[in-house]
Structure 1
Amino acid sequence: MSERRILALLLPLLGALSTLLPVLSTATGGPLNSTLLFDSAAHGNSLRNCSCASEIQDCNDALANLLCSCRTVPRSALPPAGLRVQGGLTVWVRDPWVLRELLNGSAVQDLRISACGSAALPPELLALFGLRRLRLHTAAPGVAHPEQTLSIASASERGRGGSISSLTFPPSSSSSSSTTPFLVSFLDVALLNGFSPLKAYSVSSPPTPTLTQHFPHLPLPHIPQDPQPSYPHQDCLLTFIY
């Protein structure tokens, strides 16, 4: 095949790639090889569970279905006690049920939530466990804070150079610098509307056995038995994100 013929075949492909590359280079999705979840009216108001090897532009269902490996999960199959995610998790939200039924009570370290709908989300608290980094995005035009990020670190980690943003840590007499606390975060869903800046306040709480006494309705995740006897007395770090 002649070089001219090969070039004629490649030109349409190069043109298509040139329109796609700017979308990928300006994408604001989660970490590579991360999990992407979003509600889809095209799939019977079910959830799309995607594994993405590249960053995806927020709220672009068509691009996610094209570039990620996705499957449909009915609402009836969602875990009642929340998700347990290793690695990064990105969630696109158009309907509040995704937050209530999917994220509340979930354990995730790196979470990105994108509000894709046009209607404002009502104030509501979500309980999240083990959260280290939170990123919020809203697709609504003209909002004051369309993109916000918060990193969470304990007082001992802060002293060792851990990442922190807009947090306050009262001292705890029972905490140990060598003990990693059990992280519990309460997120106000209204922050996804992008009207107010992201703020947070952290306090040390009693050890985990007494946590349910102070928060009887907290959806604590199932945690395997720790062989170390010190686990039942592990300190907690409560972070209120508002």
Structure 2
Amino acid sequence: MKLTAFSTFYFWLALFLAGFLGIADSFVGSQKNHTLIFTKESIIRNCSCLADIRDCDYSLANLLCNCRTVLPSTMEKTDYSNDLTIWFTDTSVLEMLLNFTMVWDLKLSFCGTTPLPTEYLTIWGLRKLRVKNKVKGQFPEQSVTIYSSSKNEKEDLLAVHNKDRQMFVYISFLDTSLFNGYSLLKSYSVENVSSITEHFHNLLYSNVFSTSDNRSYVVTFIY
């Protein structure tokens, strides 16, 4: 009788634990990971985080996120379908990570103290941008939405929309001096641009954009 009661107790305990672990796995699986990349003492850390980390808190990021060290020489261009956050102290890391990279939702946190010069980054498919800085400017945290998401996430990721057999390609040019926080974050877009070379011939790298009969650019300037 005691053996039966003992076995019954462990049967229900095992059943309870199985159910609890199933719920826990489901909860963890439902969490949306986002990517955090930061530089610290010339070392690049690429992290996957379940929650937002306080800006520029390197120790907390290493503690709560799954991080790995990446050598600059091994960095490859990657498309980011999830949220991407970058902590940086100079523009060199932004150029390496973002120039001609496809990013959907982007947060850039300036962790340095020296004001940044005016340089331009070219980003494909940018939908939403948040910027934050530690410089004592008037506007420490700002955001701008370039375009709203559609029901088809794959289309948003590719940043190419097919309308009346014409492809619309979203591209943004970002002025890095905006991180100094001395003015409101502003943006404006120019639609139906058939040739970036012809319309914006003074832009750096304008010659790399192809011209196609069925392709039209939506060009956004963020400053």
Partner of 1:148: 142
Task: Report the secondary structure of 1:238's partner residue.
Answer: strand
| Cα distance in structure 2, aligned partners of 1:217 and 1:87 | 27
In angstroms, what is the RMSD of aligned CA positions? 2.8
Count residues with an aligned counterpart: 177
8 Å Cα contact 2:139/2:184 also seen in 1: yes
| Cα distance in structure 2, aligned partners of 1:216 and 1:198 | 22
CA shift digits 1:17-50 (9 cap, x unpaired): xxxxxxxxxxxxxx95100000121xxx121000
| Cα distance in structure 2, aligned partners of 1:178 and 1:153 | 20
| Cα distance in structure 2, aligned partners of 1:60 and 1:87 | 21
Q: Is 1:113 aligned to residue 101 of structure 2?
A: no
Letter in 1 for 2:137: V
Task: Report the secondary structure of 1:59's partner residue.
Answer: coil
Identity within the alignment, %: 40
Partner of 1:22: none
Stretches of 4+ moved more than 3 A in 1? Answer: 175-180, 210-216, 218-221
Q: Is 1:66 aligned to residue 63 of structure 2?
A: yes
Task: Report the secondary structure of 1:83's partner residue.
Answer: coil
8 Å Cα contact 1:131/1:183 also seen in 2: yes
8 Å Cα contact 1:83/1:103 also seen in 2: no
| Cα distance in structure 1, aligned partners of 2:174 and 2:164 | 26
Select the residue among 90, 93, 96 that pairs with 1:98. 93
Partner of 1:3: none
8 Å Cα contact 1:89/1:108 also seen in 2: yes
Partner of 2:16: none
TM-score normalised by the chain length of structure 2: 0.71
Q: Is 1:200 aligned to residue 194 of structure 2?
A: no
For structure 1, the 5+ residue unaligned runs are 1-30, 158-174, 222-230
Partner of 1:10: none
**216 and 38 in structure 1: CA distance in 2 versus 1, 3 angstrom threshold:** closer
CA shift digits 1:170-208 (9 cap, x unpaired): xxxxx947866210100000111111110111102434x
TM-score normalised by the chain length of structure 1: 0.66
Letter in 2 for 1:61: Y
For structure 2, the 5+ residue unaligned runs are 1-30, 151-161
Partner of 2:50: 53
Q: How does 1:28-39 map onto structure 2 within 5 Å?
A: 32-39=32-39
